Amino acid sequence: MLGMSTSVGIDLGTANSLVYVKGKGIVLREPSVVAVNRDTDEVLAIGEEAQRMIGRTPGNIIAIRPLRDGVISDFDMTESMIRHFLNKVIGKSFFLRPRVMVCIPTEITIVERRAVQEAAEQAGAKKVELIEEPIAAALGAGIDISEPVGSMVVDIGGGTCDVAVISLGGIVKGESIRIAGNKFDADIETHVKRVHHLMIGERTAESIKTTIGAAYVGARKLEMEIRGRDIVTGMPKNITVETEEIAKSVRESVDKIIVCIRRVLDVTPPELSADIFDRGIILTGGGALLYGLDELIRRETGIPTAIADDPLSCVALGTGKALESDKSF
């Protein structure tokens, strides 16, 4: 059992949630999914177990993602999910109410911020602090954000892409758009349905993205056999998809991310722009792993671009660093 003054950091993601316990590191990594009985509203499973139910449940059991585009879309389910994660890492003792730090996208509203805070409080937190995702991502990527120099972080999660220029511990210029990894998956689903008349689920779309996907045509050449339901016959069918068509299907979404990066660069003070040209752009988040995305951003902006060492964990690790330092961000 952990000590009385437990501090917990939560990277509450649209696709996955990670939990960091002060002094222990990342102790939990689970999908942000809740399985519910539609008839009784009873929560049947959360996280890993609920993820396995997606697309495989009877009609009365639905799998809910309580966060959409990085913000809470179902308050009660988010609270249940946070409670489940906290119980898993610190147990259910009433006396061990932890200090909790939760990551939030850059441009969420005051109402959305309050919703995150209240969900964590009602799930059992003694004190709730919020940290903006780009700050956490930068800390997790090993950037010293306290320096008076400009660093650009592009955090591409499941629901949101946060672009920020950071200096002296704060965000100087930033923008958040609701286009990220889940949108790439949706683009692929739409493409396969429109071109191949095949229905596939989000897990198959994600598998296509990670196995043969690319940010631009020509980045690589691969193919993959997939299985889905034929729209015309309703029967299961196998087809082969290629990298080129997948790259074309996600290109519009990728371009919107690049336009967002350019917009932030356009309003960045000249001195900090010079720093960014010297230091480069750092990509974090699962969406950063779309093959060739770093190269495309480099080509389109003319700025060196690199993926952080552990992009999937950066935000959680950065939250942990903020907890360990006991600073407010």
Could you read off the pLDDT of 76-120 as tens digits, one per residue?
Answer: 999 999 999 999 998 876 567 899 999 999 888 999 999 999 999
- Asked whether residue 1 carries a pLDDT value surpassing 70, the answer given is no
Percent of the chain with pLDDT over 70: 96
Q: For 292, left (φ over 0), alpha (ψ -120 to 50), or beta?
A: left
Confidence (pLDDT) at 320: 94
**Torsion angle of the four alpha carbons 284, 289, 293, 297, in this order, in degrees rounded to the nearest 10:** 10
Contact 18, 133 (CB under 8 A): no
- Predicted model pTM: 0.91
- 52 pLDDT band, cuts 50/70/90, is confident
Give residue-wise pLDDT tens across range 265-279: 999 999 999 999 999
Give residue-wise pLDDT tens across range 110-147: 999 999 999 999 999 999 999 999 999 999 999 999 99
Confidence (pLDDT) at 94: 55
Task: Please give the average per-residue pLDDT across 62-79, as a whole number.
Answer: 91
Confidence (pLDDT) at 60: 83
Task: Please give the average per-residue pLDDT across 242-249, as a whole number.
Answer: 98
